[in-house]
Structure 1
């Protein structure tokens, strides 16, 4: 008999994959060196990142079925090849002085690898941690958030010492090795596998194990109102978070008079709250319930968007921004576990992919709204009221979703009556 894998090493494998692809968020360290040393236009350099992020979201959305069919190991290996080639190939583009090739390698190849790599380990992690779904997916997504913190200083130091092209070669090879190592160990558990603590709970009382609301395929899930309720909540939560991330520095300088240096420090701290929120909120959801955590997200943001236009206190202003950003990160880490609760793990990867369309759309909607409103009014203040309306809408949806979940669970309890011997009657 094959020995059961260690589920904590499975989690570590997922973190290795997400840590590598999360390096994409360190792209800003390449921008000035490419413009100054290569003479490429800023628009071409920016376009490579835009292509990668847009493609990543839609690849995650439409490659979910690929991941389900081929399993996490093959999918993660494909992601490793694409992402590693995209990063290392960017070094070739630099040597050939081709900004077009750079867009193809860093933008297209890395984007495909990023999207597939993001969803590859998620459904597997949920299956290995039926008792701690939030914590497990939170750890992986935390790795994604922390990737930039490791890559940014490493890439800056490498470019200073060995040049831009060699930096891409070394980092591309490093990402490939790290992702392949993660892919080589990750695998789903055997059908019906349970951790020891749940086995003991099952032996004592079957009803202590909280079951998924239902087991649906991806096509079945998208025909339910719960899918679209969760999709709407994620879109609004993501749009609000990306909006705040995109303009936090100039907004803080404009509204409360923060200095440029202090605003830059604030942006760095935002990264900590983005990453920490992914793990903290996900772990909390195992005890509070995913639906309740999303309600808390919207309550926090309602308070923040009501208070931000009126506050002149620099500390309070920054605290509110940090809280909004933590909710943004927490939304992504809670999403896979919430999908498992609502639709089961049968095709979790594919459903997760469909819901990640909110990542791409939110990345467009949030910055577009804030730039349009700021451009037409000359102020950031109206932005808060627009997002206050959107968050209010999401809050109402989250209340209806929680009520629906409670109703369905109560109906399930009423419809299944157990005798003392455990036989339905």
Structure 2
């Protein structure tokens, strides 16, 4: 059966809308705490485990995408995330914390990792001229998922209780994901417009000596290590700010708890929009320039948060910062394909996502320790600002190599 590329893209967006529901974990916390004797920190740790296993499992699952195809990894993700969510309800019913960590953290995290890498490399191959836009659309679904899940979860919790909520949502995730996975297929040779291949990058040929690299070759390069570091810093700062957005706003601007909660919802929208907007911009500015702009803006605005005591200005600055946080997720796959090619992109993307797993633990730890010791978010913002400047420097190093190699290949083609 021949599949239209827009069907593939739509299936990818739907798939990410399901697994992106992990960002709605805070919605369940109070209800779980009310029904068990678990502390808030113990419940939150389940989310940290899930993000860690997302990043770690993505490295392995990325290789399976290229070897067995996205339908296989999508099916694995459907079972792992669906069963993990259902078993979370059982863990709450039995009041077994270890089972919560195993179900939502480990099994659910593996489902997240395999599900995250499933559509991205495939969609890029369907849209060779608009790689940024294509990946931005798919990954935008992950960013917006909490907006869809949160109200549904609230209604279910009120009507059927927290345990049944996980049973219902887990079943729904499984059904929707396994159906969507069947439509995520790589294109056949004649299904991509030959006119799209006007540059080495558009043709799926890397800028590393004009050859497509395997995952094993790519991870040994300097460029991969620098891209990993950039993504790690971007996620460390972003996820740290997400974790402390509400109390930070109350400390700096004297917002009420209600106003701060509303602000968190607003910045969540920009987290999702940033994935699409910045990825689309990267198709025109190029991935190197886009990352340099993102880190410049983030460094300036993170440091400026310390003096922005007007709630509206603080919110605007945080929205822009979080759009850049989302940009890292959507621009990096296209950047990887520009440098290393698309032949083994799923595996390469999986390896770079290990930065997410580690940053998901490091970011909140930096924030909590610095705030606990100094009783102020100023020190945290200074640390994050310095990290952003380091990322900016790294982006310039990669950009120089990128542009030099691209110019060399253009000259060779002209001759």
* Equivalent position of 1:247 in the other structure: 244
* Structure 1: stretches of 5+ with no match in the other structure: 419-425
Shift of 1:200: 4.3
Shift of 1:29: 1.9
Query: How many residues of Structure 1 are paired with residues of Structure 2 in the alignment?
Result: 411
Does 2:260 align with 1:263? yes
How many angstroms apart in 1 are the aligned matches of 2:200 and 2:289?
22
* Residues 212-268 of structure 1 deviation map (CA, whole Å, 9 limit, x = unaligned): 424101111111111111111111111111121111111121122222221111111
Query: Normalising by the residue count of structure 2, what TM-score does the alignment of the two structures yield?
Result: 0.93
* Equivalent position of 2:109 in the other structure: 111
* Equivalent position of 2:97 in the other structure: 99
Greater Rg by CA:
1
RMSD: 2.0
1:37 to 35, 38, 43: 35
* Equivalent position of 2:172 in the other structure: 174
How many angstroms apart in 2 are the aligned matches of 1:386 and 1:99?
34
**For the structure 1 residues 15 and 206, does the alpha-carbon distance in structure 2 shift closer, same or farther, using more than 3 Å as the test?**
closer
**For the structure 1 residues 246 and 46, does the alpha-carbon distance in structure 2 shift closer, same or farther, using more than 3 Å as the test?**
closer
* Equivalent position of 2:74 in the other structure: 76
* Equivalent position of 2:400 in the other structure: 403
1:124 to 119, 122, 125: 122
Shift of 1:142: 0.9
Shift of 1:51: 2.0
* Equivalent position of 2:330 in the other structure: 333
* Equivalent position of 1:141 in the other structure: 139
**For the structure 1 residues 206 and 377, does the alpha-carbon distance in structure 2 shift closer, same or farther, using more than 3 Å as the test?**
closer
Shift of 1:315: 2.1
Shift of 1:98: 3.2
* Equivalent position of 1:422 in the other structure: none
* Structure 2: stretches of 5+ with no match in the other structure: none
* Equivalent position of 1:26 in the other structure: 24
Shift of 1:55: 1.2
Other structure's SS at 1:27 match: helix
* Equivalent position of 2:349 in the other structure: 352
- Write the mapping of 1:157-236 to structure 2, written as runs, cut at 5 A: 157-191=155-189, 193-195=191-193, 199-200=194-195, 212-213=206-207, 214-236=211-233
Shift of 1:47: 3.2
1:66 to 41, 59, 64: 64
Say if 1:201 and 1:208, in contact at 8 Å, map to a contact too. no
How many angstroms apart in 2 are the aligned matches of 1:316 and 1:43?
31
* Equivalent position of 2:318 in the other structure: 321
* Residues 58-86 of structure 1 deviation map (CA, whole Å, 9 limit, x = unaligned): 11123221222111001100110111111
